[in-house]
Amino acid sequence: MIIHSAKYFNGCASLDKCPKSDLPEFAFIGRSNVGKSSLINFLTQNNKLAMTSQNPGKTILINHFIINDKWFLVDLPGYGYAKRGKAEMARLKKMIYSYIEGRETLYNLFVLIDSNIPPQKIDLEFIQWLGEHGVPFSIIFTKTDKKSKSEVGKNIAKFNQVLTETWEELPQQFMASAVKKTGRDEILNHIGDILKATKS
């Protein structure tokens, strides 16, 4: 999959405000600060496309970016950032969950997991919810540049061990570093494969 063009399309605060479009879309979700917006910039090779920040809670809208004028990459707000306050957290949660459940053109959701820490309950519960709702998803272990290969490997193995308790087959997985610029081809090829497989 080659990206020829990547443009900001729009940002919306609820599912009903999302673009009225039949174009396929691929969205990125995960805990605040896991690197969703950075990954979108890395995939599109445009560091100014999605807004990133050292502080969690940067992305607060459902942001659509149009790729090659044919499909969307979607940057979502992170989950689990408690400092926002209860009401704001609940509002964002509703926005994210209703988008994921209700967006008919969502071809695949990429769930980003920080490869530097052991399995987190919030991520495992979220993945469980996806399974219960039949959402097609893949996992991307992010920030693989921060720790040694063996530590990253251990965290991923532990994560998968927990997943195998509930999943017969593990979901498709990728590793990526927006800093070391690794994992891009694999993720883009996966998107390309899904687009090819679903072409009517």
Q: Which amino acid is at 58?
A: K
Among Mg ion, ligand GTP, none, partner that 145 touches (CB below 5 to 8 angstroms by kind)? ligand GTP
* Residue of closest CB approach to ligand GTP: 78
Among Mg ion, ligand GTP, none, partner that 34 touches (CB below 5 to 8 angstroms by kind)? ligand GTP
Write phi, then psi, for 147 (nearest 5 degrees).
-125, 175
DSSP result, the chain: -----EEEEEEESSGGGS------EEEEEEBTTSSHHHHHHHHHT-TTSS---SSS----SEEEEEETTTEEEEE-PPB--GGG-HHHHHHHHHHHHHHHHH-TTEEEEEEEEETTS---HHHHHHHHHHHHTT--EEEEEE-TTSS-HHHHHHHHHHHHHHHHTT-SSPPPEEE-BTTTTBSHHHHHHHHHHHHHHT--
String marking each residue 42-71 x if it binds Mg ion according to CB under 5 A: ----------------xx------------
Tell me if 32 contacts Mg ion by CB under 5 A.
no
Among ligand GTP, Mg ion, none, partner that 44 touches (CB below 5 to 8 angstroms by kind)? none
Query: Which of 31/163 has CB closer to Mg ion?
Result: 31
Tell me if 37 contacts Mg ion by CB under 5 A.
yes
Tell me if 108 contacts Mg ion by CB under 5 A.
no
Among ligand GTP, Mg ion, none, partner that 64 touches (CB below 5 to 8 angstroms by kind)? none
| Distance of closest approach, residue 177 Cβ to Mg ion, in angstroms | 17
| Distance of closest approach, residue 112 Cβ to Mg ion, in angstroms | 10
Among ligand GTP, Mg ion, none, partner that 143 touches (CB below 5 to 8 angstroms by kind)? ligand GTP
Binding site for Mg ion (CB under 5 A): 36-37, 58-59
